[in-house]
Amino acid sequence: MKITIRQVSACEIPVLMQWRMEVLHDVFDIPEHELMDSLYKENERYYKATIKRGLHVACFALVNNKIAGCGGMCLYHEMPSPDNPNGKCAYLMNIYTRPAYRGCGIGKKVVEWLICEAQKRNIAKIYLEASEAGRPLYEKLGFVNMHGYMKLENDQDE
């Protein structure tokens, strides 16, 4: 099986949006028929604002010229520190392989491609939020737990 990874261009945002919604339905176990119009619009707005400006890099994984998976990374700056002197960061996200193609190395190729793209941009701080299914792959690629981080839970129902 020949796996090809290629960068998504701004003109492919509609296709990328189909994949993003598939990921959200699958990862968050949302039924396919459930409408997510506002989430769709916000994701589309995000891609349109960031891809052209180079603040988000997305890729497709192709098998026999058919998209089988995807991935992306949000690029940003934080305050420079001893462990990240230039302040450049890459947050890997939306890493997904369609069920029929899982176990074939597609996720690994996507993550390796994203890491390479981050390194080309002189980004040393590369991180992600790991699902239980993805954790073994990420660990094999050198990712480790980031102890000491916390997240504020935002109750939006108030």
pTM, to two decimals: 0.92
Residues 109 and 99 sit within 8 Å (Cβ to Cβ):
no
Residues in the chain: 158
The closest alpha carbon to 143, from 100, 114, 122, belongs to 114
CATH 3.40.630.30, domain 3-140, yes or no: yes
Tokens read off for 55: 């603040």
Q: What is the mean pLDDT of the chain?
A: 94
**pLDDT tens across 1-45, in order?**
899 999 999 999 999 999 999 999 988 888 877 778 989 999 999
* Neighbouring residues of 107: CB distance < 8 A, sequence distance ≥ 6: 69, 71, 95, 97, 134, 137
pLDDT given at position 40: 94
| Domain limits, the chain | 3-140
